[in-house]
Amino acid sequence: MTSSAAVTSTGPATDSLKLTSYFGERQRCGSGFVADALLGLYGRHEIATSILLRGTEGFGLKHHLRTDRSLSLSEDLPLITVAVDTRPRIEAVLAPVLALSPAGLVTLERARLLADTTAPGDLPETAKLTVYLGRQERVFRVPAFVAVCDLLHRRGVDGATALLGVDGTAHGQRERAAFFSRNAEVPMMVIAVGPGEQIGQVLPELGGLLRRPLLTLERVQVCKRDGRLLAAPAARPGAGQWQKLMIYTSEATRHRGAPVHRAIVRRLRSAGISGATTQRGVWGFHGDHPPHGDRLLQWGRHVPAVTIVVDTQERIAAAFAVVDELASERGLVTVEDIPAVARSEPGRERSSFVMKIS
Amino acid sequence: MSVLLWVAVVLIGGAGSVVRFLADGVVGSAAGRDFPVGTLAVNLSGAVLLGLLTGLALGHDQALLAGTAAVGSYTTFSTWMLETQRLTEERQHGKALVNIVLSLAAGIAAAALGRLIGLQL
């Protein structure tokens, strides 16, 4: 596995890039699906970590709502792929990724890929920590994602959500889910948000839990916690800068009877926001309550849900106003700056986009 | 029973499910609500159609093609059940109950209406 070697050789915390694509499940390129082509590419390039996540609801630039609520509308659900590796390795796949996805959105962000769990010296004020795990990975007979969420909760981190991947690479190795398989190594991720200092203290403990930790750190701003408004998304100088809003809620949190994430997506769509995707997690928490997920016998679902909105900062401000109103009692809301974006535009070839982060 | 008839059942049956997919998608996304109106519209229109066909008193082969193959594949019980279960999963028990009661009551009325129209023709 050359990629992990490449990472470790450059020190404990590497300045890496995170490449994210938002597109539709039915989108094709050539003879196959875009999702397969993207993950095939990441596999061939032995990308340190990549994951394919399925959304449960969302819409894109054309404002067609896709949702798993109805059988016919659940065709072509939104997909998200995330790939993180060192700068040169991500830059090497950038052009083919743009050529593969004729529609949809591609973003490039900074992330620090941690090859060991000693806390880096210059932690951001608020950090987003992503822990990549295998589906069947266990820690002392407990599923690893449960152990990680539990640890993060005990250390008082603002929130953590475990999301199941269906395809991806881990330490450069392609791991794809199959119908008849244990799918032990298929990647999943735990996304946690908290004060940088706290996240830094958790890192060595995570190192004690996980055999081959694969972690990334990013800078975020927390806008709302437990429904309480802390600060509206901070605008950057210059118009048209891109931002990403992430709304962590739960299936059990409702707005007028329906799960709040459904209400948020509907309102964002009618407010003219460029796109939104909701994913259902399998386990997690956001706020003071202990981590939760589905049980075998239950009255309604209990899993967490994450809604992602990527847009210009002007429209993110409008989206935040909607979210602020709907997530008034519960929910964790964060915002991040997106340095580089490519999205489908009429009459412009995707391959002509230049995505660069200085 | 000829091979041709069974081929026709296969083709018409396939076409019926495609029409349902399109109709459900159009109605569902136009309504954009939490309530599964697409499936309700499909099942009610199917009930009217089936009532009408039985009212017409078609021959055996025509009844098989129009009733079992076309309307049978157009309407859907399983989707109705799945979407009702989805509503309860999201704790929308009132809507789930309405979905069951409304589909049953309006469905029987729709079939009766269709039959009435068929008998008049």
Residue A351: band (very low, low, confident or very high) from pLDDT cuts 50, 70, 90: low
d(CA B88, CA A296) in angstroms, rounded, equals 15
B92 CB near a chain A CB, below 8 Å? yes
CA distance B95 to chain A (A): 9
pLDDT for res A350: 57
CB contact under 8 A, A251 and B88: no
Average pLDDT over residues A68-77: 84
> Is the per-residue pLDDT at B85 higher than 60?
yes
**Would you call A71 and B24 a contact, using CB atoms and an 8 Å cutoff?**
yes
- The verdict on a CB contact (< 8 Å) between A301 and B89 is yes
Four-residue CA torsion sign, A87, A90, A92, A95: negative
At residue A300 the predicted structure's pLDDT band, cuts being 50, 70 and 90, is confident
The whole-angstrom separation of Cα A231 and Cα A317 is 12
Report long-range pairs for B64-72 (Cβ below 8 Å, ≥24 apart): B64/B5, B64/B9, B65/B5, B65/B8, B65/B9, B65/B12, B68/B9, B69/B8, B69/B9, B69/B12, B69/B13, B69/B16, B70/B12, B70/B13, B70/B15, B70/B16, B71/B16, B71/B46, B72/B13, B72/B16
Nearest CA distance, A57 vs chain B (angstrom): 12
Question: Does the structure show a pLDDT above 80 at A346?
Answer: no
Identity of the highest mean pLDDT range in A53-62, A339-348, B94-103:
B94-103
Q: Which residues of B touch A65 (CB under 8 A)?
A: 29, 32
What's the CA dihedral at A240, A246, A247, A250 to 10 degrees? 160
Instruction: Look at A192-196, A269-273, A286-290, B17-21 and tell me which has the smallest mean pLDDT.
Output: A286-290
How far is residue B48's CA from residue B43's CA, in Å, rounded to a whole number? 9
Tokens of A71: 């059988």
Residue A212 has pLDDT above 70, yes or no: yes
Tell me the nearest-neighbour CA distance from A125 into chain B, angstroms: 36
pLDDT at residue number B1: 64
Cβ pair B38:A72 closer than 8 A: yes
B28: nearest CB among A68, A70, A301: A70
Report the residue of B91, B98, B99 to disrupt the A interface, i.e. the one with the largest count of A CBs within 10 Å: B91
Block residue for tokens 């956001």: A286
- What is d(CA B22, CA B44) in angstroms, rounded to the nearest whole number? 15
- Interface A-B, measured as beta-carbon pairs within 8 A, has a size of 58
**Cα–Cα distance between A98 and A90 in angstroms, integer?**
12
pLDDT score at A10: 38
Mean pLDDT score, A302-312: 94
For residue A262, how many C-alpha atoms fall within 13 Å in the half-sphere facing its CB?
21
CA distance B87 to chain A (A): 8
Please report, rounded to a whole number, the percentage of residues in chain A having pLDDT higher than 70: 92
Best A70, A261, A269 member to test B by mutation, with max B CBs in 10 Å, is A70
> Which tokens go with A293?
């997920």
pLDDT digits (tens, 9 = 90+) for B26-70: 888 787 677 899 999 999 999 999 999 988 888 888 888 998 899
Cβ separation A257–B89 shorter than 8 A: no
Amino acid B60 reads H
Task: Record the pTM.
Answer: 0.88
- Interior/surface letters A96-106, b for 16+ CB within 10 angstroms, e for the rest: ebbebbeebbb
Average pLDDT over chain A, rounded to whole? 87
At A57, is the pLDDT very low, low, confident or very high (cuts 50, 70, 90)?
very high
> Touching check for A251 and chain B: CB below 8 Å?
yes
pLDDT of A108 over the 90 cut: yes
- Tokens standing for residue B106: 């309006």
Query: Does B25 lie at the interface with A, CB-CB under 8 angstroms?
Result: yes
Average pLDDT estimate for B71-80: 94
Q: pLDDT class for A348, splitting at 50, 70, 90?
A: low
Burial of A11 (0-12, 13-18, 19+ CB in 10 A): exposed
Position A345 scores a pLDDT of 63
Distance between CA atoms of A208 and A179, rounded to whole angstroms? Answer: 32
Asked whether A38 and A81 are in contact (CB, 8 A), the reply is yes
Say whether residue B36 is in contact with chain A using an 8 A CB cutoff. yes
